[in-house]
Structure 1
Amino acid sequence: MKGLLGLIRQTTPAIAGSGHPDTFFFSTAFTEQGIDATSLVPWEARANEVGARRLPAERGSKLLQALWSKDNYMARLGSDAVPRLEKFFDFATLPANRDVIRQDEYGNFMIVLLTGSIAVDREQPWGDRLHLTEARPGDILGEMSLLDSGVRFSVCTSLAECEIAVLGAQALDEMMTTDPALAASLIALLARKLSRRLRVVSARLGDHNS
């Protein structure tokens, strides 16, 4: 958690004319860590692979606002936040039985589940899948790799046709530049939600191994 908080501080854009360059960009973080660009799976490639269809932004934004207004964490963004976020998100319809996120790959996007359900599993070395949880509307998936430029922890498979909102690294960089207060608030809330989810997953894995 301390590392994530440090990352949040790093994302503050430089003040115009200050002479201090930006210290961190999400869209270049993978290459800066020496990760081959050909290993990176951006949303555009995954969307084409799984046959995702574009969802009208008006519907996607309406669903996102309704879900996040009821979320204990994301509601802290304020009522005007989702309309400001809309231009940074892509909205799509995902067919059933598609791996939208794959374990151990490098991916620079996160998704918010708007409708439907997604299974979150951990693939075991011997080939079985350990079921971790089932994502419901309002849940966020893939934010850990977006924040820390690491490999995906689990595989996320649509159980039915789903509507999703997608935030990529380049869009997050644009948000940091054009609306830094909104970006800082979003990153802080994502870090808190991620920390809570990791604690739950760790406890479940501990129970499974005991």
Structure 2
Amino acid sequence: MMGIFQRLRQAPDSADALRQDAPESAFFSTAWHLGSEAPLVPWEARAVELGARHLPPHAALRRLQALWAHDRHLATLTPQALRRMGRYLGFAAVKAQRDVIRQDEYGNFMVVVLSGELVVNRSQPWGESLRLAHAGPGDLLGEMSLLDSGQRFSSCTTVVDSELAVLSAEALDDMLQNDPALAAQLIAVLARKLSMRLRAVSSRLGHHPS
């Protein structure tokens, strides 16, 4: 995995070749959004809009550790790795009926549900709103845009007051630079989770990915 990332970061057609003044660490936060005119919606802006309240990190991180210990993919992240990851996470409380993620906007953060519930909806071109999923404690949302700073596939809305852990693309860049083994392990887990998510959504929409 690290060999792949090293080759990506050194390749002549990487983000640095597209924008020579981009810092080496700005991999996930800039690499794939360079050609879009639409502005990114970072977590800092969304948190202000939501009126999100900052949570003490120690208790929130313990809750995250307890939740991920029961996930067969995320449990591969050891307690020590999760403690190191805590340096790169933000923690926030969000009121009910708030859009944490909005369909079609460009974003560069993901959230992990620590408590509460969110619904995942997609508005179809013909006007129908399709309920894709309910997300509860331990679930991840927004991983794809974290990795590519692309458009959101769906909207994620709190049903009740909820608590979230947040990882931004900038924080992932910092992790990649300062703790590359941890970053590689996390990205491998996210890739597996994304594959499962895409297959489930494709099945729900009537497609059959290969």
Q: Is this contact kept in 2: 1:12–1:184, CA < 8 A?
A: no
3-state DSSP class of the match of 1:112? strand
- Matches for 1:47-196 after TM superposition, within 5 Å: 47-196=47-196
Q: Provide closer, same or farther for how the CA distance between residues 101 and 8 of structure 1 changes in structure 2, counting only shifts above 3 A.
A: farther
Residue of structure 1 in register with 2:16 after alignment: none
Structure 1 residue identity aligned to 2:36: I
Distance 1:23 1:171, change over 3 A: closer
Secondary structure at the residue paired with 1:184?
helix
Report the Cα distance in structure 2 between the residues aligned to 1:162 and 1:46, rounded to whole angstroms.
15
Paired letter, 1:51: G
Contact 1:10–1:24 (CA under 8 A) maintained in structure 2: no
Q: Tell me, yes or no, if the aligned pair for 1:13 and 1:180 is still in contact at 8 Å.
A: no
Structure 2 SS opposite 1:28: coil
Q: State the SS of the aligned residue for 2:79.
A: coil
Query: What residue number does 1:25 align with?
Result: 27
Q: Which structure 1 segments of 5+ residues have no match?
A: 16-20
Deviations 1:166-210 (A, max 9, x none): 000110000001100000000010010010011011111118xxx
Report the identity percentage.
56
TM-score (norm 2): 0.86
SS of the residue 2:103 aligns to: coil
Report if the CA contact (8 A) 1:110-1:143 is conserved.
Answer: yes
Q: Which of the pair is proportionally richer in helix?
A: 1
Q: Which amino acid aligns with 2:92?
A: A
Cα 1:110–1:92 shift into 2, 3 Å = same
Aligned residues: 195
When residues 62 and 75 of structure 1 are mapped into structure 2, their CA distance, relative to the original with a 3 A threshold, is: same
The answer to whether 1:10 aligns with 2:33 is: no
Aligned partners of 2:25 and 2:176 also within 8 Å: no
**Cα displacement (A) at 1:11:** 6.0
Name the Cα RMSD after superposition.
2.3
Kept in 2: contact 1:117–1:135 (CA 8 A): yes
Q: Which amino acid in the other structure matches residue 35 of structure 1?
A: S
1:174 & 1:199 partners in 2: Cα distance? 30
Q: TM-score, normalised by structure 1?
A: 0.86
Does the Cα contact within 8 Å between 1:88 and 1:167 map onto a contact in 2?
Answer: yes
Q: Partner of 2:46 in structure 1? A: 46
Aligned-pair CA distance for 1:9: 2.1
- Distance in 2 (CA, whole Å) between partners of 1:55 and 1:23 is 27
In the alignment, the residues of structure 2 paired with residue 124 and residue 182 of structure 1 have an alpha-carbon distance, to the nearest angstrom, of 38
Distance 1:101 1:206 in 2: 24
**Alpha-carbon distance change, 158 to 173 in structure 1, aligned in 2, over 3 angstroms:** same
User: Aligned partners of 1:100 and 1:11: how far apart in 2?
Assistant: 33
Deviation at 1:162, TM superposition (A): 0.5
